[in-house]
Amino acid sequence: QSVLTQPPSASGTPGQRVTISCSGSSSNIGRNYVYWYRQLPGTAPKLLIYRNNLRPSEVPDRFSGSKSGTSASLAISGLRSEDEAEYYCASWDDSLIGPYVFGSGTKVTVL
């Protein structure tokens, strides 16, 4: 099983706000940054959030990340149909040379 724990699924209607949690430990999230990735079916993952709450320039500000202690969360506001995808959190574990651990993934469904 994954080192980081995410809920298997989340859902919302268009325009709603959805939050995904990611729980880790003192050896990963507790001491290192958290990252978030989105994966559409049949495609490669894409970076959404890095260093806890920073967004690459091409990622809309509807996506935001936060971290507290050994947990983190991703919020998607103004949910859109194209947000339906698998979302993964990640963090470096124990040391900064690895391993890089991923969460189990959360499937977001837009109702």
Residues that bind other proteins (CB under 8 A): 2, 33, 35, 37, 39, 43-47, 50-51, 56, 88, 90, 92, 96-105
**How far apart are CB 92 and other proteins at their closest, in Å?**
7
Minimal distance in Å, beta carbon 39 to other proteins? 8
What does 50-83 look like in DSSP terms, one character per residue? BTTTB--TTS-TTEEEEEETTEEEEEE-S--GGG
Tell me how far apart the alpha carbons of residues 43 and 61 are, in angstroms, rounded to a whole number. 22
From the CB of 13, what's the least distance to other proteins, in Å?
A: 27
Residue the block writes with tokens 């724990």: 5
- Residue with Cβ nearer other proteins (44 or 68): 44
Q: At which residue do the structure tokens 């809920």 appear?
A: 7
* Amino acid identity at 5: T
- Partners of residue 64 on adjacent β-strands: 75
Cβ closest to other proteins, residue 13 vs residue 98: 98
Q: Which of residues 54 and 111 has its CB atom nearest to other proteins in the complex?
A: 54
Smallest distance, Å, CB 14 to other proteins?
A: 27
Nearer to other proteins, 18 or 36 (CB): 36
Q: Distance (Å, rounded) from C-alpha 47 to C-alpha 28?
A: 19
